[in-house]
């Protein structure tokens, strides 16, 4: 049945959608909080969902935080206590992917920061490349640095130290036979408070893909892989799972592709105006971006959860 993005009010349909759900997956930034400020009422809503026995999970494309950092942030902002196994960040899931996909003795050349390094370390994936790289003019600049013979994958995540030298090195590894190319996510921009933004990991992935002339395997939403990680950790039924997110092209698309019930919250990136454009479109690809339901804020779930 075609999804129509209905307001999830206090109707009988809303009650039954929430009552029947066994698991609720949340995107974090723009859904539970913005920066360091919790969305008002969000913590209480999640408390009630947990109290009603729903399995809560946190599914985020952000590769610059470890799972432990999410557990601590949830606690700091008053959300129900969470364990690291409930957190599916693209850094952790990328590490998990490489721990299976890399051949024995293989290492990853990583464009990314400390969190990505920590998650790789935690699952035992050998890696190099995080942090600053040599400047042009240096003997070890990426176009001429010696290659590490153990590298069998290039992993692209959020990297404040991304540079042309790193791009050179990534290309040189990717020109070797059988070298995997993995990206944590394709987010174009990370919005900041006040309407500004910084470039997302998607820009860095595109740069590497363009050089390598091939597509990366993507870990984060809308890729199914990150949901498969949830499914391997918790025995959940997609038909009884709700995905809650603020982005149509990542959260809602992943949820729809995986057979989940999808709920858009308007406290983040995407707008009802965009949904309207997709609803009116004849393009099947755009129709996949339409959620089942929307709320202005997940605090709107509170009245329905009160009894």
Active-site residue set = 27, 29
How does DSSP classify residue 106? -
Q: Does 157 bind its own copies (CB under 8 A)?
A: no
Q: Does 206 bind its own copies (CB under 8 A)?
A: yes
Question: Is the torsion defined by CA of 102, 172, 122, 243 positive or negative?
Answer: negative
Question: By CB under 8 A, which span of 43-51, 86-94, 120-128, 199-207 interacts with its own copies?
Answer: 199-207
- Distance of closest approach, residue 118 Cβ to its own copies, in angstroms: 18
Question: By CB under 8 A, which span of 201-209, 230-238, 246-254, 287-295 interacts with its own copies?
Answer: 201-209
Say if residue 221 carries a ligand binding annotation. Answer: yes
**Number of Cβ atoms within 10 Å of the Cβ of 273:** 7
Exposure b/e, 217-240, CB count within 10 A at least 16 = b: ebbbbbbebbbebbeeeeebeeee
- Distance of closest approach, residue 166 Cβ to its own copies, in angstroms: 9
Judged by CB under 8 A, the residue of 20, 72, 121, 135 near its own copies is 135
The CA-based angle 167-173-175, given to 5 degrees, is 100
- Distance of closest approach, residue 227 Cβ to its own copies, in angstroms: 24
Q: Does 199 bind its own copies (CB under 8 A)?
A: yes
How does DSSP classify residue 95? H
The CA-based angle 239-259-248, given to 5 degrees, is 125
Asked if residue 202 lies in contact with residue 159, where contact means CB atoms within 8 angstroms, the answer is no
Exposure b/e, 63-81, CB count within 10 A at least 16 = b: bbbbbbbbbebbeeeebbe
Give the pair of three-digit tokens for residue 197: 């933004």
Nearer residue to its own copies within complex by CB, 165 or 255: 165
Question: By CB under 8 A, which span of 92-100, 193-201, 216-224, 258-266 interacts with its own copies?
Answer: 193-201
Say if residue 20 carries a ligand binding annotation. Answer: no
The CA-based angle 156-92-71, given to 5 degrees, is 130
Q: Does 197 bind its own copies (CB under 8 A)?
A: yes
Say if residue 148 carries a ligand binding annotation. Answer: no
Judged by CB under 8 A, the residue of 189, 237, 296, 303 near its own copies is 189
Q: Does 203 bind its own copies (CB under 8 A)?
A: yes
- Where does this chain bind its own copies (CB under 8 A)? 132, 135-136, 143, 159-165, 167-168, 171-172, 175, 188-189, 196-200, 202-204, 206-211, 213
What residues are designated binding site for substrate? 221
What residues are designated binding site? 27, 29, 221, 246
């Amino acid at each position: 049945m075609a999804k129509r993005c209905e307001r999830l009010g206090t109707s009988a349909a809303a009650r039954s959608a929430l009552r029947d759900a066994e698991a609720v997956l949340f995107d974090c930034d723009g859904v539970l909080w913005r920066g360091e400020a919790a969305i008002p009422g969000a913590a209480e809503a999640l408390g009630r969902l947990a109290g009603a026995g729903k399995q809560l999970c946190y599914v985020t494309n952000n590769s610059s935080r470890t799972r432990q950092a999410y557990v601590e942030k949830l606690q700091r902002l008053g959300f129900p206590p969470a364990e690291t196994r409930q957190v599916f960040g693209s850094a952790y899931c990328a590490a998990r992917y490489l721990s299976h996909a890399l051949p024995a003795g293989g290492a990853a050349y990583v464009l990314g920061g400390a969190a990505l390094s920590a998650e790789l370390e935690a699952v035992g994936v050998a890696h190099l490349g995080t942090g600053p790289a040599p400047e042009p003019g240096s003997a070890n600049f990426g176009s001429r640095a010696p290659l590490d013979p153990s590298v069998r994958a290039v992993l692209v995540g959020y990297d404040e130290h991304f540079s042309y030298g790193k791009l050179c090195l990534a290309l040189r590894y990717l020109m070797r036979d059988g070298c995997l190319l993995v990206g944590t996510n394709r987010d174009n921009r990370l919005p900041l408070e006040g309407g500004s933004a910084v470039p997302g990991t998607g820009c860095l992935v595109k740069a590497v893909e363009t050089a390598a002339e091939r597509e990366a395997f993507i870990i984060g939403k809308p890729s199914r892989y990150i949901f498969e990680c949830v499914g391997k950790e918790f025995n959940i039924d997609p038909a009884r799972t709700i995905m809650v997110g603020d982005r149509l092209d990542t959260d809602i698309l992943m949820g729809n592709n995986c057979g989940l019930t999808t709920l858009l919250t308007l406290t983040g990136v995407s707008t009802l105006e965009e949904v309207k454009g997709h609803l009116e479109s004849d393009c099947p690809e755009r129709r996949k971006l339409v959620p089942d339901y929307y709320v202005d804020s997940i605090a709107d779930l509170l009245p329905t959860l009160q009894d």
